[in-house]
Amino acid sequence: MLYRKPKFKDVETIHKLINHYADQGLMLPRSRNILYETLRDMIVAEQHGAVVGVGALHLVWDELAEIRAMAIAPEAAKQGVGRSIVEALVLEARELGVKTLFTLTYQPGFFAKLGFAEVGKEALPHKVWKECINCPKFPNCDETAMIRTI
């Protein structure tokens, strides 16, 4: 498995992968526009020349970042791909000086195994919510907030 920064040619695959799960209500959808704008935030997992996983590290504020857009192709699930992506994002966050990571997720069990703890959404700084205005679920967020200190 190769873990790398994505290229423009990967956006369509990433879009399909994320929105496959979004269509099932398992994560929030992402537009192509957002994917292009945040391409540098992402890491992809590539197997036999095909992208089979993605995750992103989004810098939010002083020493605070979000792990988001985590999606693993069904054929690559349960093989440690998601864990490896999160570990790579944590390493990148540490190198940048991030002290606190958070995620908003429908998969709290996955993140709990990686050292994240559930918190009330009100525990997150207001800066976190600046992008929520564009969310299709705003203002009725039903994701679970989780944090991890690094």
Q: How far is CA 15 from the centre of its chain?
A: 13
Architecture of the structural domain at 2-149:
3-Layer(aba) Sandwich (3.40)
Residues 73-123 have pLDDT tens digits of: 999 999 999 999 999 999 999 999 999 999 999 999 999 999 999 998 777
Distances (CA, A) of 42 to 58, 119, 126: 8, 25, 24
pTM: 0.90
Listed in sequence order, the residues at least 6 apart from 11 whose beta carbon sits closer than 8 Å to its beta carbon are: 32, 35, 36, 39
Residues 38-86 have pLDDT tens digits of: 999 999 999 999 999 999 999 999 999 999 999 999 999 999 999 999 9
CB neighbours (10 Å) of residue 129? 15
Listed in sequence order, the residues at least 6 apart from 107 whose beta carbon sits closer than 8 Å to its beta carbon are: 26, 27, 70
